[in-house]
A and B are shown apart, each in its own frame.
Chain A
Amino acid sequence: MRYVIVGTGVAGIAAIEAIRSLDKKGEVIMVGDDPHGFYSRPGLAYYLTGEMHDKGLFPKTRDDYARLDFKYHKASVSKINRFEKSLLLDGKTPLPYDKLLIATGAIAAPLTVPGANLKGVVKLDHLEDARHILSLAKRGRTAIVVGGGITALELTEGLLARGVTVQYLLRGDRYWSNVLDEHESRIVEARLQEEGVTLHFHSEITEVLGKNGKVSGVRLLNGQSLKCDILAYAIGIKPRVELAREAELALDRGMLVNEFMQTNDSDIYAAGDVAQVYDPASGRSVLDSLWSPAREQGFTAGLNMAGQKKPYIKSPPFNVTRLAGLTTTIIGAVGHGLDEDIVGIARGDSETWRQLPDASVAQSGFDVNRIRLLVGEKNLIGAVVMGDQTLSMPLQKIISGKMDISSVRDKLLTQNAKIADLVMEYWSNYVAA
């Protein structure tokens, strides 16, 4: 049996671990086009701020890889030939497979305005991108950041940490409008301003201006132009589905898979950011761009490839992140609609966060410590915890465990309810029981 894994991200690595937990003899081959192989992509944000050095981003040691006993080809897969069950590497070398996993991840949605290919226009997908940004981010330079979600702020924070002056352009009237509520957006914006970031709302770039092949500024829809040395964009991501499309595998926005992470070709599986996964709870197929789901999906795919029928059970997505220095946990369904600053989905994002069903909202806290709960009929269905994270773990368990909160529901929904205390009391009783 030959298993081939395309992609050296967390989904691919987890798949190999799963395969090896069941099949010690089969041949496992991993193919990837990132020169650095497997590393922590979310860690790139901490590399930009200087909290982490790049060598520390690699979680696995040589011994770990040796134990997993697989071959690695640094190559780009140019084609899947389903009828011969073979891949084409770098446009020339065939590589036959018995079971194939596509874990090609996602890349930044491109900026499509004129001038977007000028030097100094940057994004943050890979380690090489982060290094490139650091080579440009010299003290005294100026940058414009466009886009939304977490990555736009990670770029902003990284540039600020390197002494770059940052202006942040938003298309709409507030930050991350379809996940955060207005109050939360304003908290983040105020903190950015405190850090010295100039915010421009209702601003859309129509052209990147350049001098000698380098970016020198941007022109906005309202005719205004702004100067900058760096233009960083994070306007959403695109699952890397080109191989699947050419091979005529089932696609929507990502590669469609069943609960066994299997595509419509029973020997081909998909997992991670590239996969659009069936969620039995909502009956929909959703995209996530989150590390833990990518790992779980990869692991599930690996088990199924090696012959153990095991369904993937999607838990409510959640992410702990820093928004303008404020630790924030987002769990379950918390917002709705579209965010003008992002096309499709952004990094560290989940579509589930925007599928807010009918739910009441309970809020508490003051500017830096804030909790917002989305209260369903009997359960909590989502939460945003900003600042103090004491309740983040309990809320994650209460939401993912669909725990019955009837006993405190009414209290939570009374005006000026002390939400944090109520949740803590509920949790304490549960733990003590």
Chain B
Amino acid sequence: MIRMTFVTTSRCFFGSIIRVTFLGVKRLIDWRRNLSFLNIFKSDAARRTASFAGHVVPDSSRCVQCGICTYNCPIGIDVRAHVWRGEAINNNECLTCGECVARCPRGVLRFERTDLFTTGAK
């Protein structure tokens, strides 16, 4: 049941990291697959929309404020400060490139669908 996407995702996720936006996008898609696998999206329709919508949310209790996320954000969003406050990255400028998600060594960050799209899906 654990699919290949998982394995590859977590490998590129935590292993040696490649810094190309192209891969960032691929990773992002993998991530959304992961989420759908977690059954966070309940209907197939919602599952489909999930591959279009998403924002970065933290699990703050895992964070050690090392700053790697902020350092790697291509547009300079202070991701770490959001995590400290327990807030999702609600910054309109966020590219959802996945760089912060991929680089965090502690699995603090993940993509979650935006509510906007699920309402439409149902």
Interface residues of chain A, those whose CB is within 8 Å of chain B, are 10, 40-43, 46, 51-53, 56-59, 64, 291-292, 315, 318, 320-322, 325, 327, 329, 369, 387-390, 392-394, 396, 418, 420-421, 424-425, 427-428, 431-432
In the bound complex, do residue A431 and residue B65 qualify as a contact, i.e. CB atoms below 8 Å apart? no
Of A53, A418, A420, A428, the contact of B39 (CB 8 Å cutoff): A428
Residues of A contacting B70 with CB < 8 Å? Answer: 56
In the bound complex, do residue B106 and residue A320 qualify as a contact, i.e. CB atoms below 8 Å apart? yes
In the bound complex, do residue A59 and residue B81 qualify as a contact, i.e. CB atoms below 8 Å apart? yes
User: Cβ of B6 < 8 Å from any Cβ of A?
Assistant: yes
In the bound complex, do residue B66 and residue A46 qualify as a contact, i.e. CB atoms below 8 Å apart? yes
Residues of B contacting A388 with CB < 8 Å? Answer: 2, 6-7, 10
In the bound complex, do residue B67 and residue A320 qualify as a contact, i.e. CB atoms below 8 Å apart? no
CB distance from A18 to the nearest CB of B (A): 14
In the bound complex, do residue B34 and residue A390 qualify as a contact, i.e. CB atoms below 8 Å apart? yes
In the bound complex, do residue A40 and residue B67 qualify as a contact, i.e. CB atoms below 8 Å apart? yes
In the bound complex, do residue B66 and residue A52 qualify as a contact, i.e. CB atoms below 8 Å apart? yes
Residues of A contacting B20 with CB < 8 Å? Answer: none
In the bound complex, do residue A43 and residue B10 qualify as a contact, i.e. CB atoms below 8 Å apart? no
In the bound complex, do residue A59 and residue B2 qualify as a contact, i.e. CB atoms below 8 Å apart? no
What are 24 contact pairs spanning A and B, CB under 8 A?
Answer: A40-B64, A40-B65, A40-B66, A42-B64, A42-B65, A43-B64, A43-B66, A52-B68, A56-B71, A59-B65, A59-B67, A320-B62, A320-B107, A327-B107, A369-B2, A369-B10, A388-B6, A389-B13, A390-B10, A390-B38, A418-B1, A420-B2, A425-B1, A427-B38
Given A320-B62, A327-B105 in contact, is the A52-B81 Cβ separation under 8 Å? no
Of B6, B39, B110, the contact of A431 (CB 8 Å cutoff): B39
Interface residues of chain B, those whose CB is within 8 Å of chain A, are 1-2, 6-7, 10, 13-15, 34, 37-40, 42, 59, 61-68, 70-71, 80-81, 84, 105-107, 110
* Cα distance A52–B80 in the bound complex, in angstroms: 13
Give A56's nearest chain B residue, CB to CB. B67
Residues of B contacting A329 with CB < 8 Å? Answer: 107
Residues of B contacting A390 with CB < 8 Å? Answer: 2, 6, 10, 34, 38
Interface centre among B2, B7, B65, by most chain A C-beta atoms within 10 angstroms, is: B65
Given A325-B15, A431-B38 in contact, is the A393-B107 Cβ separation under 8 Å? yes
CB distance from A131 to the nearest CB of B (A): 16
Of B34, B38, B81, B110, the contact of A428 (CB 8 Å cutoff): B38
Give B40's nearest chain A residue, CB to CB. A431
In the bound complex, do residue A53 and residue B71 qualify as a contact, i.e. CB atoms below 8 Å apart? yes
Give A38's nearest chain B residue, CB to CB. B65
Residues of A contacting B106 with CB < 8 Å? Answer: 320-321
Given A325-B15, A327-B105, A389-B14 in contact, is the A291-B39 Cβ separation under 8 Å? no
In the bound complex, do residue B1 and residue A421 qualify as a contact, i.e. CB atoms below 8 Å apart? yes
In the bound complex, do residue B71 and residue A52 qualify as a contact, i.e. CB atoms below 8 Å apart? yes
Residues of A contacting B13 with CB < 8 Å? Answer: 389
In the bound complex, do residue B105 and residue A322 qualify as a contact, i.e. CB atoms below 8 Å apart? yes
Residues of A contacting B42 with CB < 8 Å? Answer: 432
Residues of B contacting A10 with CB < 8 Å? Answer: 65
* Cα distance A149–B42 in the bound complex, in angstroms: 41
CB distance from A363 to the nearest CB of B (A): 15
Residues of B contacting A418 with CB < 8 Å? Answer: 1
Residues of A contacting B81 with CB < 8 Å? Answer: 59, 64
Residues of B contacting A392 with CB < 8 Å? Answer: 107
A42-B66, A46-B66, A325-B15 known, 9 other contacts, Cβ within 8 Å: A40-B64, A43-B65, A320-B62, A320-B107, A327-B105, A390-B38, A424-B38, A428-B38, A432-B39
Give A52's nearest chain B residue, CB to CB. B68
CB distance from B36 to the nearest CB of A (A): 11
Residues of A contacting B14 with CB < 8 Å? Answer: 322, 327, 389
* Cα distance A394–B106 in the bound complex, in angstroms: 15
* Cα distance A320–B66 in the bound complex, in angstroms: 13
* Cα distance A387–B107 in the bound complex, in angstroms: 12
In the bound complex, do residue A46 and residue B105 qualify as a contact, i.e. CB atoms below 8 Å apart? yes
A-B complex: 10 closest residue pairs judged by Cβ atoms: A43-B66, A42-B64, A428-B39, A56-B67, A320-B106, A59-B65, A327-B14, A40-B65, A421-B1, A291-B64
